Amino acid sequence: GGRKGLAAGILGCLLTGTLLLLLAVELPGCDAQDQDLAAFQALNRNKTLLAEQLLASYKPFVPPPGGAQVAIQLALYSIVEVSTAKQTIQIQGWWRHYWADKRLIWDPALCGIDALVFSFDEIWTPDNMVYEIIEEIPSGVVALTVYPSGSVFFSAPRVSTIRCKMDLDAFPYDTQQCDFTVGSMSYDASLVDVVPRSVDGESWFVENEGQPPQMKTGIDLLQYKTNTEFSLWRVRIVSRNNYYSCCPFPYPVVTYELVIERQTTTFITGIMVPIIVVTLVGFAVLLTPAPLSGARPGISVSVMFTTSAIYLVAARKMPDLGRLTLVGRLYIVSLMSSLLMIFISILTTAINLVMAEDNSNRADLLTMFRHYDSDKSGSLEADEAEKALNALGIAKGDRVDLMRACGITGKEGITLDDWLSLGEAARQLRPSTQGNIIIGAFLRWLNNRGRARDKESAKVSDDAAALAEK
């Protein structure tokens, strides 16, 4: 009965179209434009009649008899955004679906109709979706195109936000693989088979392992626009069946594997190079001259805060992984270097201050020695030494102990070296004017050790010379 109704409808559309064409030809004053209009109206009427006949007994909620093999293809337009913080990738493109429905077959020679257009609620459509989808934004109303052989096609533009687990240990030299699966939500393999479709129309794909994607990858890249942050490196498609304990038949799915590689230029010039340069500036602080050594701690602190600010900018683009990335390790090295530079800067500043105080004290001692050495003999006699020690501020009760400690007792006069030793020993009895008591004592201990070694070496040399003379 359905076939008879379809045949009657086709015959009716054929007679109607033929009658309109004859009228258009025979009507007086009918020009070519009127004939085209009449033919167009006849074709539309034929399409309407044919669609009504095809849908007369059609049930859009029932899959095609014998099941349907749905071939899907992604025509990728762009990678809109890759969010490492949210672990998502947003892609824009067209999801193309191809299948055959035997209930929608007609003879194109009868009415001259080579395609019909239906809406989604008029005929059966697969309910495929991306399993890892977070958000999907459709773009406008999409119609389905049906051909005389019963082949159905539609291309749905979508902006899809998909989950993508990312490994950022090598950031910013990382390569990410985003896998997402497309399959039916309600039809198992006994009713619907989901397979990938390559660009050349074949039902399977041609894999392009290890090379930049070309055309025969199962993804149409003719209109692909490159992303400024990530480049599409490899595309791979896997078709498989998912088995569940609830159901006797498997669910066929198609998995897309997109491998994207980060463009490192921005991160190298914007994050890594500044951190390295600022760290080197921190080391360069040690090269500042001694008169400017007081500025070293301040510069080192500024370097540390600058490095922290750069890392905070980079951290906004990275998720909380619970482990250090390459940038994190670089930041830790820079931070520890800055702290080391702060410590060294403070230490060298204190040493410079103590040395400056020592040099000033040594100059004062030399001036005093020349002043009280009135006979210019190179040593202070008893009366000269008395005046000099009084001017140096050494109490009479401490003089004997100081002279014994410096090895001066038993000598007729005080030489310049003995006088310098006395002056340094006397200063140890006074609190340091700069507050660097520990550092000053350490430096003076080193100085005294050096002088003791020099005296011992000189004594050994004198003894050796005396033995040689004998």
Give the residue among 350, 349, 389 at the shortest CA–CA distance from 372: 389
- Comparing CA positions, the residue from 309, 405, 425, 297 lying closest to residue 361 is 425
Cβ contact 179:255 at 8 Å: yes
Which residue spans within 221-334 are E strands per DSSP? 230-242, 251-262
Quickly tell me which residue has 């040493």 as its tokens: 351
Burial call 421-448: b when 16+ CB within 10 Å, e when fewer: bbbbbbbeeeebeeebeebbeebbeeee
Q: How confident is the model at residue 21 (pLDDT cuts 50, 70, 90)?
A: very low
pLDDT of residue 235: 87
Query: Which token pair is 288?
Result: 């500042």
Structure tokens at 121: 């609620």
Mean pLDDT, rounded, for 363-389? 74
pLDDT in tens, 165-182: 998 888 788 899 999 999
Task: Output the pLDDT for position 25.
Answer: 46
pLDDT at site 430: 54
Residue reference for tokens 């991160």: 267
Write the burial class of residue 18 (CB in 10 Å: 0-12 exposed, 13-18 middle, 19+ buried).
exposed
pLDDT digits (tens, 9 = 90+) for 49-80: 999 999 999 999 999 999 999 999 999 999 99
Which residue, among 81, 234, 217, has the nearest Cα to 160 in the 3D structure? 81
Q: How many CA atoms within 13 Å lie on the side-chain side of 188?
A: 9
CA atoms of 281 and 288, how far apart (whole Å): 11
Provide the pLDDT for residue 375. Answer: 74
Please report, as a single letter, which amino acid is at residue 61. F
* Res 231 pLDDT > 70: yes
Choice between 314 and 175, residue whose per-residue pLDDT is larger: 175
Cα distance between residue 194 and residue 95, in whole Å? 13
CA distance 97 to 108: 23
Q: Is the backbone peptide bond immediately before 172 cis, with ω within 30 degrees of 0?
A: yes
pLDDT of residue 401: 67
pLDDT at 293: 55
> 326: pLDDT confidence band, cut at 50, 70 and 90?
confident
Q: How far apart are alpha carbons 384 and 232 in whole angstroms?
A: 91
81-98 average pLDDT score: 92
Distance CA 439, CA 334 (A): 28
Backbone angles phi, psi at 235, to 5 degrees: -125, 135
pLDDT score at 376: 77
pLDDT tens digits for range 127-163: 999 999 999 987 777 899 999 999 999 999 999 999 9
What span, in angstroms and rounded, lies between the C-alpha atoms of 403 and 421? 9
Q: How many CA atoms lie within 13 A of 74 on its CB side?
A: 28
- pLDDT at position 146 is 95
Taking all residues of the chain, what is their mean pLDDT, rounded to a whole number?
77
pLDDT category at 29 given cuts 50, 70, 90 is very low
Q: Indicate whether this model's pTM tops 0.75.
A: no
pLDDT at 208 exceeding the cut of 50? no
pLDDT of residue 272: 84
Burial class (CB within 10 angstroms; exposed 0-12, middle 13-18, buried 19+) of 53 = buried
